[in-house]
Amino acid sequence: MDSEPPAAALAWAGEAAGAAAPARTVRRLTGGAHAATHLLRTRQPERDLVLRRFPPGDRAAASEARVLAALDGLDGRAPRLVDVDADGHRFGRPAVLITRLPGRADITPARPDHAAAELGRALARLHAVPLAGLRDGMTAGSAATGPAAPVLAAHLRQLASQPEVLTHFDYWSGNVLWQDGHLTGIVDWSGAARAPRGFDVSWCRLDLALLHGTAVADAFLAAYQGAAGEEVPDMLLWDLFAIANSHASVESWQANYQDLGRADLTGATLRRRHTERTADLLARR
């Protein structure tokens, strides 16, 4: 999936942009593993597009296209859909063409607390967007294991019964873009779903705790709740939700973190930090 886009994909991008010739590949874009994502550029007119290619048979392209159409750009914070090949007819893989947002992924900010606050305010704005016929994120996103799983099992129905919002489903530091120290966009919408607000909040808090520590995760929560105008109910249970659902896979996050400049976050380091956070959360029960 990391291979360069084929000629048929470049021709498609050129057609979609109304260009006189096929697009060319500028570079691969980092920050995710599900889709192969490349920046393309057309001429006559000159235009930057982003091509996201998914595995054969994957329905993520169709889902992302539907969500992006509903978001309608999110006041400049989300890409706009240019075209979709949901079944992979053009070159064998489902794909979307979307507009390029300014900025780059950055998980090494000079002021992690300030970046976390921007993440929180942006997520609150996202959660205010009306729902539009999305899948059930609580059903799709629950695979709890590890020491926190029994606690979560006893309260999962309580969490699932909370009011639902538009949920990104993979809201973490690598799926937002930054320019000049400010958050400029949110990317990777293929998993968007409906779920209580604690779903996105808890996953982002876990990401920030692994990257920068608990204080930064708390700064994110404070900014989110301030912008949303309400507290996230049962936040401790939601933190346990993210911990239990990442217990079996946290080492696999190493590739994404290292791709974005955190070579120190080895699988062993991630496991150790995850274990420490698990123990800390369970001790608060």
Domain definitions of the chain by residue range: 7-99, 112-283
CATH number of 112-283: 3.90.1200.10
Report helix, strand or coil for 53: strand
Is the pLDDT confidence value at 177 over 90?
Answer: yes
- Other Cβ atoms less than 10 A from the Cβ of 240: the count is 27
- The band of 32, judged by pLDDT with boundaries at 50, 70 and 90, is low
Which SS3 state, helix, strand or coil, does residue 282 take?
A: helix
Q: Identify the band that residue 201 occupies on the pLDDT scale cut at 50, 70 and 90.
A: very high
Q: Do domains 7-99 and 112-283 have the same CATH topology?
A: no
Q: How many CB atoms lie within 10 A of CB 267?
A: 13
pLDDT at 33: 67
Residue 20 confidence (pLDDT): 84
Task: With cut-offs at 50, 70 and 90, classify the pLDDT of residue 2.
Answer: low
Is the pLDDT at 140 greater than 60, yes or no? yes
What's the mean pLDDT when you consider all of the chain? 94
Choose between 71 and 249: higher pLDDT. 249
Considering Cα of 251, then 252, then 255, then 261, what sign does the dihedral take?
Answer: negative
Average pLDDT over residues 129-155: 87
85 φ/ψ angles, rounded to the nearest 5 degrees: -120, 85
Report the pLDDT value the prediction gives residue 143, as an integer from 0 to 100.
Answer: 86
CATH number belonging to the domain at 7-99, selected among 3.40.50.300, 3.10.20.740, 3.30.200.20, 3.40.1310.30: 3.30.200.20
The beta strands (E) that lie in 145-254 are given as: 164-167, 176-179, 182-186, 193-196
Q: Report residue 224's pLDDT band, with 50, 70 and 90 as the boundaries.
A: very high
Which letter, b or e, does each residue of 82-117 get, where b requires 16 or more Cβ atoms within 10 Å of its Cβ?
A: bbbbbebebbebbbbbbbbbebebbbebeebbebbb
Residues 97/16, Cβ–Cβ less than 8 Å:
yes
Per-residue pLDDT tens digits for 102-127: 999 999 999 999 999 999 999 999 99
| Cβ atoms of residues 146 and 243 within 8 Å | yes
